[in-house]
Chain A
């Protein structure tokens, strides 16, 4: 089966990129697919959902990848690790040419290339002349060169709320893209940049390898709020945007936010009772994503 790469992107913050990335990755792993998550957001929110990150002793507000399991900094095993491996691996290493080691997580079938703020921001600071060569193509080239498709069935990429070089590289590497958005003016504003990015990327690609837009998904949706209902209604009834709207929504639910708490790990949304509205919405969305990406969805999740 050819590798599927889903990029979750939206240049407005707080739209639910990390939530959707996490849900899809966990669901696909539970369905038996081998999943790699790549966190390209310097805030490392997705990484923290799956790994206990280390605090940078020099910068208290910075999280860094933990020491890789089994790596002994005093005497690294030369047979298992690259001699240049520092013991910490992040998604930024793909761009910086350093050894890359995805971390195992508490979820079977799910591995993670976590973020590292300072290094990812260093990648973003590349000059305009070099950005195409050093960043835009880098992730795509990495996946081909390292035969990522031999090890995983699905790669899920979470991006920062920008349209910067890392986001462009994530879209270039993608086979599919999903755009979470809130049903508020700021969320809708972000769609302009994302649709333009998707369109331009498609135009530069050969027609036999287009990037498929799964659609735009309403996140943190609050029914009975006039602005939210009217915005969703307007988007769905628009002749052009309507067909691009994913028919499932994720409501603003405390039980989904609760899954981010440390005490919940290693469980997730799909461990909630089958009667949970949050779980039902997440399952419906993930099943849609799996079917659109031609990946087998779960038949039934154990309650």
Chain B
């Protein structure tokens, strides 16, 4: 056998390199979780990102009482169906993360994958059990990477994270540092969020209600005095969430971030989720007990949108009074 020939063939061919690359992708990289019964898993009610869907008698249903934006709900459900198709075709590359709660488990990360498994009729799901997980931090990291998260949900996720880290949002250097170091936000974005969370409660409510469109807009609004902010929000509400009226270009540099205005109300440290109900009668009972029977007669209890609005308004009045 010719030595030259042998040497020539000993060179690794392009095909072999390609086979090697493909073979390399077959090696397991993700940690294998434990197979848990889906019946023992519960979504985390404190997750800033709530998915307005649940399973009822084997069917995926839209939760219209939580989010009245039907278009957004449909988008999320469509996404869940797509995710289920992907999991069926390609499996789930990484397990969901859960925390033990008594003899059950609360989902920290992977609520959508959990719903997709239910959609596929799967009885079990691979899960990493993390008893001591930094829940809000993990959820924040997962949530901020999503494009479909609303501004209000991002706000609540940020406040929840700082709460878990026991950082006062008014301590701007620490809050900014945490957002940069713990969750990897860029410097400008971290400063922007610190400014926003130190903004007045009216701004936060407007963000949750979808009146404010972007973090840049929210940052601008956060820099206004309360007497400027309220008319600005009114104008935005009337205009369907357009640009800040009379606003200048958004600022992102730390030096241009306005300090807290003395006229501002105290920033909200965290919101409390009051859970979900399916029956308007439950809301009616609470509403009647708090607001009185006369007020309850003014509400159309058959219209879920009206019921949600009435309940929100009741909560606002209560909060103002207390």
* Given A207-B126, A224-B1, CB of A238 within 8 Å of CB of B20: yes
**B12 contacts chain A at the CB level, 8 A cutoff:** yes
State whether B24 touches A240 (Cβ < 8 A): yes
Given contacts A185-B15, A199-B26, contact A207 B2 (CB under 8 A): no
* Residue of A189, A195, A199, A205 most packed against chain B (CB within 10 A): A195
Among B2, B19, B32, B35, point to the contact of A188 (Cβ < 8 A). Answer: B19
B1-37 interface mask toward A, CB cutoff 8 Å, 1 = contact, 0 = none?
A: 1100110111011011011101111110000100100
Stretch at the interface among A113-121, A122-130, A228-236, A288-296: A228-236
Any A CB within 8 A of the CB of B89: yes
| A223 CB → nearest B CB, Å | 10
Bound together, the chains give a CA A260 to CA B13 distance in angstroms of 34
| Cβ–Cβ < 8 Å partners of A198 in chain B | 26
| Nearest A residue to B23, CB-CB | A240
Is B88 part of the binding interface, using a Cβ–Cβ cutoff of 8 Å?
yes
List residues of chain B with CB within 8 A of the CB of A203.
90-91, 93
Question: Which of these, A206, A226, A229, A234, contacts B16 with CB under 8 Å?
Answer: A234
| Residues of chain B lying within 8 A (CB to CB) of residue A238 | 12, 16, 20, 23
What is the bound-complex CA distance between A49 and B240, given in angstroms? 76
B5 contacts A192, CB within 8 Å? no
Interchain CA distance A217-B18 in the complex, whole Å:
18
Report A-chain residues with C-beta under 8 Å of the C-beta of B35. Answer: 206-208
Are B19 and A195 touching (Cβ within 8 A)? yes
| Given A204-B89, A204-B90, A226-B6, A195 and B13 contact (CB-CB distance below 8 Å) | no
Cβ contact within 8 Å between A195 and B15: no
**CB-CB nearest in chain B for A203:** B91
Q: Please judge, given known A-B contacts A188-B16, A196-B22, whether A231 and B91 are in contact too, CB under 8 Å.
A: no
In the assembled complex, how far is the CB of residue B90 from the closest CB belonging to chain A, in whole angstroms? 5
Q: Within 8 Å CB of B20, what residues of A?
A: 238-241
> Does A300 interact with chain B (Cβ within 8 Å)?
no
Q: How far is the CA of A51 from the CA of B20 in the complex (A)?
A: 39
Known: A207-B32, A226-B6. A185 touches B19 (CB 8 A): no
A192 to B13, CA, bound (A): 13
With A and B bound together, what is the CA distance between A225 and B1 in angstroms? 7
Chain A interface residue count, CB cutoff 8 Å, equals 33
8 Å CB interface, A222-262 against B: 224-227, 229-231, 233-235, 238-241, 244
A200 within 8 Å of B (CB atoms): yes
| Distance between Cα atoms of A244 and B8 in the complex (Å) | 24
A202 to chain B, nearest CB (A): 7
Chain B residue contacts of A204, Cβ below 8 A: 88-91
Are A227 and B9 in contact (CB-based, < 8 A)?
yes
Given that A200-B90, A234-B16, A238-B16 are known contacts, is A192 also in contact with B10, CB under 8 Å in the complex? Answer: no
Q: A192-B15, A224-B1 given as contacts; is B9 within 8 A of A231 (CB)?
A: yes
Q: C-beta contact mask, A101-139 vs B, less than 8 Å → 1, else 0?
A: 000000000000000000000000000000000000000
Q: Are B27 and A240 in contact (CB under 8 A)?
A: yes
For residue A298, CB closer than 8 A to chain B, the reply is: no
Whole-angstrom CA separation of A241 from B19 in the bound complex: 8
**For the complex, what is the distance from the CA of A231 to the CA of B88, rounded to whole Å?**
37
Chain B residues with Cβ under 8 A from A191's Cβ?
A: 19, 22
Cross-chain contact A185 with B13 (CB below 8 angstroms): yes
A window 181-224: CB within 8 A of B: 185, 188-189, 191-192, 195-196, 198-200, 202-208, 213, 224
| Min distance, Cβ A188 to any Cβ of chain B, angstroms | 5
Chain A CB count within 10 A is highest, among B15, B24, B89, B90, for: B15
Q: Which residues of B contact A213 (CB under 8 A)?
A: 26
Closest chain B residue to A132 by CB distance?
Answer: B89
Q: How far is the CA of A184 from the CA of B9 in the complex (A)?
A: 10
Whole-angstrom distance between the alpha carbons of A226 and B12 in the complex?
14
Which residues of chain B have C-beta atoms less than 8 A from A205's C-beta?
91
Per the bound structure, the CA–CA distance linking A226 and B124 in Å amounts to: 52
If A192-B22, A227-B9, A238-B23 are given as contacts, then 17 extra A-B residue pairs at C-beta distance below 8 Å, sorted by A number, are A188-B19, A191-B19, A191-B22, A192-B18, A199-B26, A203-B90, A203-B91, A207-B126, A213-B26, A224-B1, A226-B5, A226-B6, A233-B10, A234-B12, A235-B16, A240-B24, A241-B16
User: Chain B residues in contact with chain A, CB under 8 A?
Assistant: 1-2, 5-6, 8-10, 12-13, 15-16, 18-20, 22-27, 32, 35, 88-91, 93, 124, 126
- In the A-B complex, the 9 residue pairs with the smallest Cβ-Cβ separation, listed nearest first, are A230-B9, A203-B91, A199-B26, A240-B23, A226-B5, A226-B6, A230-B10, A191-B19, A195-B22
What are 28 contact pairs spanning A and B, CB under 8 A?
Answer: A189-B15, A191-B19, A192-B18, A192-B22, A195-B23, A202-B91, A203-B91, A203-B93, A205-B91, A206-B35, A206-B91, A207-B35, A208-B35, A224-B1, A225-B1, A226-B2, A226-B8, A229-B6, A229-B9, A230-B6, A230-B10, A231-B16, A234-B10, A234-B12, A240-B20, A240-B23, A240-B24, A244-B23
